[in-house]
Amino acid sequence: MTRLVIFDLDGTLYRGESPLPEARECVARLRAAGIQVAFLTNNSSYGRAEIGAKLRRLGFSAEDRECYGTSDEAAWTCREEAYRRVYVVGEPGLQRAIEGAGVEAVRDPEDDSTPCDAVVAGICREFSYRWLDSALQHLLRGAEFIATNPDPTYPLEGGRLSPGAGSIVSSLKTASNRDPLVLGKPEPRILHRILRDFEASPTETWVVGDRIDTDLEAGRRAGCGTWLTLTGVTSELPVGQAGGPNLASLVF
């Protein structure tokens, strides 16, 4: 029996500001059947309130508590680890999320000396050599190393690809010769949190996404069913993989 369906967002429910075909209808149909719904993005620029607001603006039924992103996961992780101060290489949204969890977040490319318990790295469009150098000094002094997500690139409208969080994280890995704790997909960490929050078991849960190497891999590692939509980066359904051309055929 299916109790919970966890959707990827970009390429699965919408692209940019446009809902994908049958996506809103699919979410509504699942709710009408009594199935719980959650939303999970690797994007670290936004917290759950902003994710929920975007979904509602595009016409989806969604509550903030159903929305999960890597900036909130970073914030919850810092709180759970009882970090008092962390160094952020990322967007202002990541800093806000961490501060919202009651953890001091230093987001200053020039600050290489304030003692910090961890370096949290994500997408950072102002990234610079100075910022990399400062983060390295914190890591060399023993700060923990956390990466929001490993995505090498992310797609913009018009087909352009820009460097993603993984590109920033790789420079820190190379400089420090250390591997970070990775929060986002394909790691199953956030799926485990969603399963706990919704009190669902993996065997009652499906993960729906457009990327085999991140969305479906995270679902597989968490022991959930996986369903591939061909509205995003993947255009062909591998043999034996559940999925369809769009969410119209998602029926449980």
Q: Which residues are catalytic?
A: 8, 10
CA–CA separation, 61 vs 40, rounded Å? 15
Binding to Mg ion (CB under 5 A) within 161-220 occurs at 210
Closest CA to 31 of 12, 10, 7: 7
Residue listed under structure tokens 């929060």: 183
Determine contact, residues 37/60, Cβ cutoff 8 Å.
no
Closest to Mg ion by CB, 50 vs 204, is 50
Closest to Mg ion by CB, 8 vs 117, is 8
Which residue has the closest beta carbon to Mg ion? 11
Closest to Mg ion by CB, 73 vs 210, is 210
Closest to Mg ion by CB, 78 vs 188, is 188
Helix (H) or strand (E) holding 105: strand 104-106
Shortest separation between residue 11's beta carbon and Mg ion, angstroms = 4
Closest CA to 126 of 118, 115, 134: 134
Stretch binding Mg ion (CB under 5 A), from 48-56, 186-194, 227-235, 243-251: 227-235
Binding string, 2-41, against Mg ion, x = CB under 5 A? ------x-xx------------------------------
Shortest separation between residue 219's beta carbon and Mg ion, angstroms = 13
Shortest separation between residue 85's beta carbon and Mg ion, angstroms = 33
Residue listed under structure tokens 């501060």: 99
Q: Is 17 in a helix, a strand, or coil? A: coil
* DSSP class per residue in 182-223: E-STTSSHHHHHHHHHHT--GGGEEEEES-IIIIIHHHHHHT
Our finding on whether 72 is near Mg ion (CB under 5 A) is no
Interface residues with Mg ion (CB under 5 A) are 8, 10-11, 210, 232
